[in-house]
Amino acid sequence: MYLGVDCGTQSTKVVVIDLDGERILGEASRPHRLDEGEGGRREQDPGEWIEALRGALGEAVSRAGIGPRAIRAIGVSGQQHGLVALDAAGQPVHPAKLWCDTETAAWNAALVERLGGETGCLDKLGLVLQTGYTASKVAWLRERHPDAYGRIASLLLPHDYLNFWLTGEKVSEAGDASGTGYFDTRTRRWREDVFAEIAPELDPERVLPRLIASQEPAGTVRPEVARELGLDDGVLVSSGGGDNMLGAIGTGNIRTGLVTLSLGTSGTICAYSPAPVIADNAMVANFCASHGGWLPLVCTMNVTSATTGIRKLFGLDLASFSERVASAPIGAEGVMLLPFFNGERVPMLPEATASLDGLTSVNTTQANLCRAAVEGATLGLRYGLDQFGALAEGVEEIRLIGGGSRSPVWRQMVADITGTSVVCPEITDAAAFGAALQAAWCHRSQSRGGELAELCERLVHLDDGSRAEPDPASVAAYDDVYARYRRSLAERHAIA
């Protein structure tokens, strides 16, 4: 049996998979608290991730109906970009700043300028620094909390931190490291000269984790942790990776022609490439994949976070909210929401706020406002897909994951807005599932070998009942709505 962990923004999820039976035996999750403040501050206590992992693991194994000694390997997926700065005793010097933290926007802009603008970033890193990446968080901590900064002994990402707790090893892999802002995504190496611009007092050889290959184990579970969790000695922990990278594995997106689109707290779009990609647009990040190859990716910051906000504003449960969305027409009778509640990464508007346009005494209804929230989030994802340019040509299918993918209305909306066939994998919590598949790949590689593609072929199953095909009339109608969305961007934020 193999165990997959996904430490996300809102919770840590754990799944147990039976490789021979080709199925999930058990799953569970535990929530985290999010500490939000003025100026875009969004932080969490890394200790809560460990407590959530403990609780979710025990429940998932219990639900699987197996003893924990059946587990052979563990894979960990984590929210990308988070800064976990540890002291010499392995304790955080400051709460973890998360991917959705925009407090460091000014530090990011200054770093981009020091590195030579977009051209300099592309030359050094293969991508352009964006607010939310780890680099600006380190620079912010250096200036705003010099005492904490002075105690730094190591810098880890969230999934690296959980691997460290499990194994005692401080390691990272190329997929998650791609989002730090001090890693060359083409050569898969730390850029020590770039790191020196960010944190000149810190020795990169001392504070940055050792890089390992995707199929290489991070280590084995520490004896004391194994005893606590009831595991056998010698349980492998795979390299793990960022949630987007492990989500790609969990959807079988390890070949060209597929796109994985996540309707989660944030929205992500990624497509596999066998070679590094330098896109025409700086908003497309040339990230590495966590199985070899590359995973060019676009991330928007307001998807279910935006729709949940509107739903709660009206006191609606999910079923009632979906009914309101379905009852309103395409375009919500002219109501347009730019849902930049958390600022935005694509388009690059880290300090933006949400705006609502087109309201009249006739169209201001609950149904239209609910539909405008879902449409606004989805139109933003189409804007992100447009940034791929030629990379999106020849895409045969969008594989939809995340909480929003459970909504038939939303699935059809994605198909109509993108003009592409949409289908969900049977397992939509793809990051934890992908982590378990990577763990199985790692374990098999240590003994008899084995290809990840074969594992994905056997275990990643599509839910044909979820498939949504674009309706030509709706596609045409949404082309007009999207043109209005682009005009709104231009009028309010000078975005062409």
Residues with active-site annotation: 243
> How do beta strands 189-190 and 183-184 pair?
antiparallel
How many Å apart are CA 15 and CA 29, to the nearest integer?
9
- Cα 455 from chain centroid? 22
- Between CA 190 and CA 366 the distance in angstroms is 50
Output the CA–CA distances (angstroms, integers) from residue 31 to 28, 90, 145, 210, 427, in the order listed. Answer: 10, 23, 28, 30, 20
What are the start-end ranges of the H helices in 29-93?
A: 46-64
In terms of Cβ atoms closer than 10 Å to its own Cβ (0-12, 13-18, 19+), residue 21 is: exposed
Map residue 328 onto helix, strand or coil.
Answer: coil
The H or E element containing residue 210 is strand 210-212
Nearest CA to 382 among 413, 341, 424?
A: 413
The whole-angstrom separation of Cα 231 and Cα 49 is: 19
Closest by CA to 188, choosing from 217, 164, 210, 219, is 210
Our CA angle for 89, 92, 95, nearest 5°, is 170
The residue type at 110: A
Q: Give the list of residues 6+ apart from residue 31 with CB closer than 8 angstroms, or none.
A: 10, 11, 52
In whole angstroms, what is the distance from residue 71 CA to residue 286 CA? Answer: 34
Cite the DSSP H helix spans in 387-471.
408-418, 430-447, 452-459
**Does residue 311 contact residue 65 with C-beta atoms inside 8 Å?**
no
What is the rounded CA–CA span in Å between residue 76 and residue 243? 9
d(CA 254, CA 233): 32
Please tell me the number of Cα atoms within 13 Å of 371 on its side-chain side: 23
* Helix (H) and strand (E) counts in the chain: 18, 24
Amino acid 449 reads G
Encoded amino acid at 398, one letter: I
